[in-house]
Amino acid sequence: MKIYDFTVKDIENKDVSLSEYKGKVLLVVNGATGCGFTPQYDGLQKLFEKYHNQGLEILDFPSNQFLGQAPGTNEEIVGFCRLNFGVDFKQFSKIEVNGENEEPLYKYLKTTSEEYRNKETIEFYEKVKQFTPGIAENDIRWNFTKFLIDKEGNVVGRFAPNIAPEELEVHIEKLVKDEEIEIVCHPDFSDGCL
2 phi and psi, to 5 degrees? Answer: -125, 170
Angle of CA points 10, 24, 6, to nearest 5°: 45
- Can 81 be counted among the known catalytic residues? no
Q: Which residues pair with 136 in a beta bridge?
A: none
26 and 3 Cβ atoms separated by less than 8 Å = yes
Cβ burial of 88 (10 Å; 0-12, 13-18, 19+) is middle
Closest alpha carbon to 28 in 184, 158, 167: 158
CA atoms within 13 A on the CB side of 68: 2
As a whole number of Å, the CA-based R_g of the chain is 16
Pairing relationship of beta strands 7-9 and 56-60 according to DSSP bridges: unpaired
Distances (CA, A) of 113 to 20, 100, 125, 156, 158: 22, 20, 18, 7, 6
Which residues form the catalytic set? Answer: 35
